[in-house]
Amino acid sequence: MGKKYYCDYCKTHIQRDPNIVRKHNEGIPHLRNRADHYERCKDITEIVTENIGKKPCRTVLNSEQCIFGAHCRFSHYTPEQLNRLQRKAQRQQLHRAKRLAGIIEKLESADEITHKFLEKRSQKQVKTSNECTQFWTYTEEQLERTDLPPSLQEIDPTQIDSSSFTEWG
């Protein structure tokens, strides 16, 4: 027994064979189920722009189920529903525009950002140039021992240039 392929759109199991799967995916029931699925996920503005120019579907106006579903050439919305959807889409657009304007106001300009960055950078450079910092640390045991070879003994940063290690232990 071979493995089964599950189609999420059709909610069916079919044999996992490339030819069978391809035929299933090209079939009318699968295409209809897929279109219905994506129709439910559409944004309001997309629905309004698609249906605003279409004529109303006669079967839907007669309070019947349209056999074409999402593939119908006609609109399945009444003019009142389209007007409501259009107003809702406009309100959403205004809300998005206000939110975006608020975010843009909070953002700093590029000049301010570069100015702050350069100030912080110059402060760090002044701080590091005035101080001589050690990048290594010694444990108490290392500081107390006197029998360590020169490579492990404590190094004085001021004496690095004048030190001469002729013999290594």
Q: Is 89 helix (H, G, I), strand (E, B) or coil?
A: helix
Closest by Cα among 33, 27, 28, 45 to 9 = 33
If pLDDT is split at 50, 70 and 90, which confidence band does 83 have? very high
Tokens (6 digits) for 34: 């897929």
Most confident of 29-38, 70-79, 122-131: 29-38
Decide which of 3.90.1150.10, 3.30.160.60, 3.30.565.10, 3.30.200.20 is the CATH code for 1-41.
Answer: 3.30.160.60
Q: How far apart are CA 20 and CA 114, in angstroms?
A: 60
Kindly report, residue by residue over 97-111, the tens digit of the pLDDT: 999 988 887 777 778
The pair of three-digit structure tokens given for residue 161, joined into one six-digit string? 């240039």
Provide the pairing of β-strand 12-15 with 4-7. antiparallel
Instruction: Provide CATH 3.30.160.60 ranges for the chain.
Output: 1-41
66 touches 72 (CB < 8 A): yes
